[in-house]
Structure formats: structure tokens, C-alpha cells
Structure 1
């Protein structure tokens, strides 16, 4: 999560810098507004792409963790049943 926060911070700073640069550039108002709109769309698409990537990574890792947990739980159940059967066998021998 620390890396994703850093990436989002850098992207946000870059977007703010580009926005300020466009505002102070000597150009017609209509051209400036178009540039702002285009840059905003580009940065928005970029942020959405990064966010989707982070969500996919978290989802993928979450599924792997759940599957690993299920596997471990099944192994513990099998070990418990084996021990229980062994205990019954020892008890019946006495």
C-alpha cells in the first residue's frame, strides 16, 4: 500500500504542476481551457488505470490468501481426524 500511495501522490503532484503550467502559459482562453480539459482527461484515465491495477492486485492476492487458508484448514481437519482415529485405536487396545 505504501508504494501505491507514493505513486498516487506523484501522479497528483504531476497533474497539479501541469495544470499550473497551462494556466500561466501565454495562450488564448479557449486553447487554455481545451488543454486543461485534455490534460484532466489524460490524468483521470491514468489514475483510473493505476487504481484498477491496484484493485486487481489486491483482489488477486486476497483470493490467493483465501485459497491458502482453505487448504491449511483442510490439512488441519485431516490431521485432527487422523489423531482422533489413532486415539480411538489406542483406547480400544487397552
Structure 2
């Protein structure tokens, strides 16, 4: 979680810094508003890309854990069945 917070903080800082830089630069109001909108869209897109990468990574890890859990369950059932068969054979 700490990495996520750091990424979000850095992206937020970059967006705020860019917006302030544009606001204090001498230019027409319409040009300034357009620049702010463009920079905001860029920051939003970067944030979405970062979150998308993070979600992909989490999804891969979850799938990996799911497959490992399934393998463990199958191995456990096989072991139980073998022990049950051994016990059954010893009773006869």
C-alpha cells in the first residue's frame, strides 16, 4: 500500500505543480485554461495507466495464488485418498 500512496502522491504533486506553473505563466486566459485542461488530462491518463498496471499485477498474483491453492487441494485430496485406501487395505 505504501508504494501506491507514493505513486498517487507523486502524480498529484506533478499535476499541482504543472497547474501552478501554467497559472503563473503570462498567457491569455483561454490558452491557460486549455493548457490546464490538457495537463489535467495527461495527469489523469498517467494515473489510470499506473492503476491499470497495479490492477494487472494484483490480478496476476491472485490468479497465481488461486492456482497454487487448487494444486494444494488436489494434492491434499490425493493424499487423503491414498491414506484411506491404505487404511482400508489394512482392515481387510
Common topology (TM > 0.5): yes
Indicate yes or no: 2:54 matched with 1:54.
Answer: yes
Structure 2 portions without partners, runs of 5+: none
Structure 1 portions without partners, runs of 5+: none
- TM-score normalised per structure 1: 0.91
Indicate yes or no: 2:20 matched with 1:17.
Answer: no
Structural RMSD (CA): 1.0
Runs of 4 or more, structure 1, over 6 Å off, are none
Deviation per CA, 1:22-66, whole angstroms, max 9, x where unpaired?
A: 111111111111110110111111111111111111111111110
Q: CA shift at 1:4, angstroms? A: 2.0
Distance 1:63 1:89 in 2: 39
Aligned residue-pair number: 92
- TM-score normalised per structure 2: 0.93
Deviation per CA, 1:46-87, whole angstroms, max 9, x where unpaired?
A: 111111111111111111110110000000000000111111
